[in-house]
Amino acid sequence: MFCTNCGKKLNQEDLFCLNCGHKVEVQKPSQAPASGSNMPPPPPPTYPYTQPPAGPYAGPPPKKKKTGLIIGLVIGALVLIGLIVFLLLMFVWVPKHDRNKIDASRTTSAIEAGLDLPELGLGETGIFEGLAMTIDKVSRPDENYLYSRPSDGNEYILVWYTFKNVSKKKIESPTSIKMYTVKKKDNSPDGRQELTAYDAGADYAADGMYEQHQELAPGEKTSGWLIYQKPIEAPKLTIHYYSRIIGRAPDLAFSFPVTLDPLAPAETGITTLPASEPTSQATSQVTKEPDPENNLESFLPGLWVSLPTSEDYSFVYGFMDGLVCSTFAYSMDHETTLDNWDTPDAWYLDPYIWENWRVEGDDLVISAQMNDFYIKINIISQDEIEMTSVDGTDTYTLYRKGPEPTLEDYLTGIWLPDQADENGVYAALSFYPDGSAMLTGSKKKLDSATADEWPLDEFWETLGEVDGSWRVEENKLIVNMKDSEDVYKVTIYTPNNCILTFGDSWETGYSRVIYGDY
């Protein structure tokens, strides 16, 4: 017999369990064991505790998971595979041209540190701050589209560029005045090199000219030519690329021999004078006493005005070396003559519009926004001409009323720098006819914003304005802002593009965005 509480074996005479003290209750089994069986019934399935006691061995402890180790091994394997692929690309699969591209990579920090700059050859590519630059070829211009001549001892060449965005963000193709040919070192103590930008005054009308300020998406590229003057005897061409100011180490450098077809004597631009006639005398004859019949280029410079129309306005043309400005002049007193042209406040002039001009035979050609306008010129006297459209439908008589336009006339308007400063700010300069000036700080709201969209609010954010004054003295631009007077050298490249140089350390290209007094 067993205790129903703790399962301890009991004697038949026990009234209480000697182990737990539980009262012994005698129950009759519901079913008698089989005949002849002395096996006691099994103990009841109850225990003195809420849970059965643990056995002597509960089994081995659970194994720790190795997830971290597995992840680490996988990452290490991926890094190793990437390194192997990179080395294969560098030394096995990448051709020589692409290895040169990698070796020629430059950064601003590398330039400031004075690191050596490799010189690249024709067809090789250099990279600077995400912009890949390649000089594809050098060729001679097609004479059928060339309407100007190089200076003595020089020849025109076309340098064909390709620029590609190899960064992960949108960038602009550089301005045309960022690529300079290098002629030689000067005699200054630091041995500066003589740099020459593309010849903006060259009159070449063929297609394919390089377009600046193009927005390039990642992987996008643009190509085109720029025209330069190169010394005829120079067998080698060296070109430097400057992303910002010059007067320092270039960002990229190219140098290679140039072989072109021989020039015919008439193509060299060299004029042979008679031995008995000095060069200085020939020059003075052209500049002081122009021959109106044979030298239209030297005859036209000056200010020419037509008689007022019935609507009280006159046509005005101002010719200077390679540039022409045009506008309308309005008579305040309904004049029918030009007798009071020089009278103050008698006439109001709209802002000048600037273009290029040249002479072809007896025709005046004005190049306006990639279109050429041909005008017949009939010289009546030194101070009177007739201008007739080529189709003969319109004829106007114009009178010489003043000297050729000045640098002050050219600069009047609003100019935006071609590149922002290190803070992304574009400092626009406004030069007004009354001598006042304004400095306007702006930032692009959209990366795609262009100079043509300045200062529209949806594209540009105006940060602030500073008033000042300006003037021109001895072909120098003098700007006064906040009691500071700065003197700039102005280099005119196109009707609406110039470079301002301050001292030896600052030089920036500017583009005209608005004519006159906006």
Cα–Cα distance for residue pair 251/516, rounded to 1 Å:
36
At the topology level, CATH places domain 289-405 in: Lipocalin (2.40.128)
The Cα–Cα gap between 158 and 388 comes to: 35
What does the pLDDT average to over 223-229? 93
Report which of residues 193 and 103 the model is more confident about.
193
Q: What is the DSSP letter of 80?
A: H
What is the CATH T-level fold of the domain 100-263, as seen in this structure?
Immunoglobulin-like (2.60.40)
333-354 average pLDDT score: 88
CB 222 within 8 A of CB 216: yes
- Identify the band that residue 517 occupies on the pLDDT scale cut at 50, 70 and 90: low
Does residue 159 have a pLDDT over 70? yes
Identify whether the C-beta of residue 442 lies closer than 8 Å to the C-beta of residue 461: yes
The whole-number pLDDT of residue 26 equals 59
Q: What is the pLDDT of residues 280-298, one digit of tens each?
A: 333 333 333 444 445 888 8
pLDDT of residue 188 exceeding 60, the answer is no
Give the helix ranges, DSSP H, for 108-257: 108-112
Tens of pLDDT, residue by residue over 37-86, are: 444 444 444 434 344 444 444 445 555 555 666 777 777 777 777 777 66
DSSP 91: I
| pLDDT at residue 27, as a whole number | 54
**pLDDT recorded at residue 87:** 59
Q: Pinpoint the residues of the chain covered by CATH 2.40.128.640.
A: 408-515
pLDDT band at 278 (very low <50, low <70, confident <90, very high): very low
| Residue range 406-416: mean pLDDT, rounded | 93
Mean pLDDT of 318-327: 92
Q: How far apart are CA 511 and CA 502, in angstroms?
A: 17
Closest CA to 3 of 31, 52, 43, 41: 43
Q: In what order do the strands lie in the sheet with 131-139?
A: 125-128, 131-139, 154-165, 221-231
CATH 2.60.40.1240 segments of the chain: 100-263
pTM of the model: 0.48
- Domain at 408-515: CATH code: 2.40.128.640
Q: What are phi and psi of 62, to 5 degrees?
A: -65, 145
Instruction: Select the more confidently predicted residue: 197 or 46.
Output: 197
Q: What is the reported pLDDT for 287?
A: 34
Give me the residue label for tokens 């056995």: 55
Cα 375 from Cα 364, distance rounded (Å)? 5
Given a cut of 60, whether residue 130 has pLDDT beyond it is yes
What six digits make up the tokens of 200? 């903006």
Highest mean pLDDT: which range of 70-79, 257-266, 437-446: 437-446
Is the four-CA dihedral 505, 509, 512, 518 of positive or negative sign? negative
Higher pLDDT, 148 or 26: 148
